[in-house]
Structure 1
Amino acid sequence: MGTDTASTRTTGTLTAIAVAGALLALPAPAHAAPTTQGRALPERSAPHTAAWPEPVLPGAFLPSFSPRRPAAAAPAGISAKAWTVTDATTGRVVGSKQQHRQLAPASTLKTLFALTVLPKFPADMVRTVTAADLKGVGEGSSLVGIKKGQRYTVADLWRGVFLRSGNDAVHVLANMNGGWQATAKEMQAKARTLGADDTTVKTPDGYDAAGQVSSASDLALFARKGLQNADFARYCGTVRATFPGGAKGARAIVNTNRMLSGTSGVKRYPGIIGVKNGYTSKAGNTLIAAAKRNGRTLVVTVLDPKNRKNAVYKEAAALLNWGFKAG
């Protein structure tokens, strides 16, 4: 009887050890995309979540580990109404303030315009601009200087959009795409497909219009998706280019994103990639900027900082520095 009991205990102990070893050897389950009624939810930028922990059984060996480094405090003096710092590859939000607050985006909305229209026309396609192409350009708009009757390649037009934030170039491309309102509706549909639910599109160029809003989170998403397209990445990172139509047939244009061009008292940010700046009286200064350091790319969005000279660029630089250190 005593021998049977000892044998049973020994067998039970060996079985428990075997089960524990098998469980510990199991890989952590892959995270399935959350679904609703059988449909995958659209991508949203979200804070990082830890991996599912391995099971711990009574008496099991617990391996040593290094505790996660405490999150660094966000830099002081950030006055923007909303901001995000996002990992461009994973979409993990490193830090944010009111990232889903709906605000006027100004020309940062041109990133969504490019996501929607850029893939449709080859860069060497030529457009002879008509009066209808330029109809309705908003008063006080930023312009690259498109002229009626002038021939432009699609690449010229996109350089006008990204470097000079030219609303005239946006109008021409929107007309090529089926018209102003049709393009706005297509942009809205594109935003919803991406899961950018904070965005309402009224004007493809970002010109102020009642009800037109986006968020720091959505704009970061547009930039991340855009940078996956080689043409988008090239245009948004171009500092200088020649543009048709000057007195000698072409003229130099410089990117208005001072963080990229290093102009008007702003130093070029180390590792800067792009993406797009903007300003309207309603939106204030807005900026999406991406930079790469040690093989890692971050996207920062800064919306409407207090009215100080170059504040949008200084705050974006401070947030990028913080994000690269915070990990």
Structure 2
Amino acid sequence: MKLVPVTALLAAVTLTVPAHAAPTTPVGGDLLGSRGLVKPTGIKAPPKTKATSYVIADLETGEVLAAKDPHGRYLPASTLKTLTALTLIPKLDKNLKVKPSRKAVNQEGTAVGLTTKPIYKVEDLFKALMMSSGNDAAMALAEANGSLSKTMSDMNAEARRLQANDTVAKTPSGLDKPGQSSSAYDLALIARAGLSDPDFRRYISTKTARFPAPKKWYEISNHNKLLWRYKGMIGVKNGWTSKAQGSFVGAATRGGHTVIVTIMRHDGYFWDEVCDLLDWGFRARGKVTAVGRLVEPLPAQLPVQATPAPVVTGPAVSAPPASSVPLLDNAASKQTDSTRVVGSVVIGGGLLFGLVWLGYGIRRRRGSKL
């Protein structure tokens, strides 16, 4: 048997392994990779705003009408609660009674005033989450889903499904935590998905509601000022922390069409500016060439059909469970050329070992016939 030189065989095997480069096109289109203002031609630019980042999009078509630093990653503050609601609404029975833990009751920041008594329905907690921005309600809902860690895993999985790849959730409330991030583009994706859910839409558009208390009830109101001020406002969510500054996700309907506006990192009073951006969106939709697009969610994974197990000569190595694989953000998940080559060499080396072993076996069988 003629032996093939190791280097030649390894080179041949490496060439047969495709190197899957990380995507270089920003989600939604090339123009959305800009850190500056991206606007269509043939129409006056959107009104000025102090927001560092924003997106104006058409809900029905998914067209991005204008944007500024749409994929810039910033702290989302309470706008992250849109992802919490979108993730947990399908998972939790809205009539289920919840007994909040002391950890939930004692959450810092904005709270609706929960107690540790089992007097709250999941429905009540979602209203507290999306209307009054209750951080205590966010934690109570996360715990009702099984645990905080499970909820964070579910939220990040939902973000990946939506292709909201700038989003890394570390808290269910949006309270600042190292490594947590989102973008104006991602918040628009999340809002668009949420608005297709009737319960999500109902929670964000409710102005006032009765909320349970140990002896009676009290009234809570929606923090979104534009529900009272802007014609056609559906709602969604605002947020603020000293590190994140102001953020807002809003949607309004006029003439049978809905426009979404998201802003991030605004250092002042943003309500009037949001109104102006929405007005511009209604004037522009249907009349301009889109600068990008809100992408559709990824399809649900089909169940894997069982296949006959291959015959192996050594112990099988099982893959780690999906829940143990860490979720990486875009920067961390980008493969370098050297990483891809190493992957090819490892795979090539495994095939090389198999080929060499096969050759050795053939030589032995031939030798036994002599």
TM-score (norm 2): 0.65
Q: Could you report, residue by residue, the CA deviation over 1:86-123 in whole angstroms, capped at 9, with x for unpaired residues?
A: 11112110110000000000000011111111111222
Partner residue, 1:98: 69
2:290 equivalent to 1:319: no
- Cα 1:130/1:74, change in 2 over 3 Å: closer
Q: Secondary structure at the match of 1:73?
A: coil
- Cα 1:167/1:105, change in 2 over 3 Å: same
**1:291 is aligned with what amino acid?**
A
Partner residue, 1:204: 172
Partner residue, 2:253: 292
**1-structure distance, mates of 2:103, 2:175:** 18
Partner residue, 2:84: 113
Unaligned runs of 5+ in 1: 1-35, 38-42, 49-67, 263-267
Unaligned runs of 5+ in 2: 1-18, 21-25, 32-39, 286-370
> Residues 86-235 of structure 1: matches in 2 within 5 Å?
86-131=57-102, 133-134=104-105, 137=107, 139=108, 141-235=109-203
Tell me if the contact between 2:71 and 2:166 (Cα under 8 Å) persists in the aligned partners.
Answer: yes
Q: Could you tell me how far 1:72 is from its partner in structure 2?
A: 2.9
Partner residue, 2:223: 256
Alpha carbon RMSD of aligned pairs, Å?
2.4
Question: More deviation in 150-159 or 285-294?
Answer: 150-159
**2-structure distance, mates of 1:279, 1:121:** 27
- Cα 1:299/1:203, change in 2 over 3 Å: same
**1-structure distance, mates of 2:75, 2:88:** 21
- 1:269 pairs with 230, 233, 250, which one? 230
**2-structure distance, mates of 1:233, 1:115:** 10
**1-structure distance, mates of 2:253, 2:71:** 25
Tell me if the contact between 1:302 and 1:315 (Cα under 8 Å) persists in the aligned partners.
Answer: no
**2-structure distance, mates of 1:133, 1:305:** 29
**1-structure distance, mates of 2:235, 2:153:** 26
Q: Could you tell me how far 1:276 is from its partner in structure 2?
A: 0.4
Tell me if the contact between 2:119 and 2:213 (Cα under 8 Å) persists in the aligned partners.
Answer: no
- Cα 1:46/1:87, change in 2 over 3 Å: farther
> Residues 31-50 of structure 1: matches in 2 within 5 Å?
44-46=27-29
Partner residue, 1:13: none
Q: State the 4+ residue runs in structure 1 displaced beyond 3 angstroms.
A: 43-48, 132-135
Q: Secondary structure at the match of 2:266?
A: coil
How many percent identity over aligned positions? 41
Q: Could you tell me how far 1:132 is from its partner in structure 2?
A: 5.0
Q: Which has the higher contact order (CA 8 A, sep 6+)?
A: 2
2:304 equivalent to 1:304: no
Tell me if the contact between 2:55 and 2:66 (Cα under 8 Å) persists in the aligned partners.
Answer: yes
Q: Could you tell me how far 1:47 is from its partner in structure 2?
A: 8.5
- 2:242 pairs with 252, 271, 281, which one? 281
Q: Could you tell me how far 1:326 is from its partner in structure 2?
A: 1.3
Q: Could you tell me how far 1:149 is from its partner in structure 2?
A: 1.5
Q: Could you report, residue by residue, the CA deviation over 1:8-67 in whole angstroms, capped at 9, with x for unpaired residues?
A: xxxxxxxxxxxxxxxxxxxxxxxxxxxx98xxxxx954599xxxxxxxxxxxxxxxxxxx
Tell me if the contact between 1:143 and 1:166 (Cα under 8 Å) persists in the aligned partners.
Answer: yes
**1-structure distance, mates of 2:100, 2:283:** 48
Partner residue, 2:355: none
Q: Could you tell me how far 1:306 is from its partner in structure 2?
A: 2.9
Q: Could you tell me how far 1:134 is from its partner in structure 2?
A: 3.6
Tell me if the contact between 2:111 and 2:132 (Cα under 8 Å) persists in the aligned partners.
Answer: yes
**2-structure distance, mates of 1:199, 1:313:** 24
Q: Could you tell me how far 1:71 is from its partner in structure 2?
A: 2.9
**1:91 is aligned with what amino acid?**
G
Q: Could you tell me how far 1:150 is from its partner in structure 2?
A: 4.0
- Cα 1:104/1:130, change in 2 over 3 Å: closer
**1-structure distance, mates of 2:236, 2:139:** 20
**1:78 is aligned with what amino acid?**
T
**2-structure distance, mates of 1:46, 1:271:** 29
**1-structure distance, mates of 2:195, 2:28:** 15
**1-structure distance, mates of 2:30, 2:57:** 9
**1:304 is aligned with what amino acid?**
R
Tell me if the contact between 1:45 and 1:92 (Cα under 8 Å) persists in the aligned partners.
Answer: no
**2-structure distance, mates of 1:106, 1:130:** 23
Q: Could you report, residue by residue, the CA deviation over 1:266-322 in whole angstroms, capped at 9, with x for unpaired residues?
A: xx1100001001111111111000000111101100112232xxx221111110001
Tell me if the contact between 2:225 and 2:271 (Cα under 8 Å) persists in the aligned partners.
Answer: yes
Tell me if the contact between 1:112 and 1:187 (Cα under 8 Å) persists in the aligned partners.
Answer: yes
2:43 equivalent to 1:71: yes
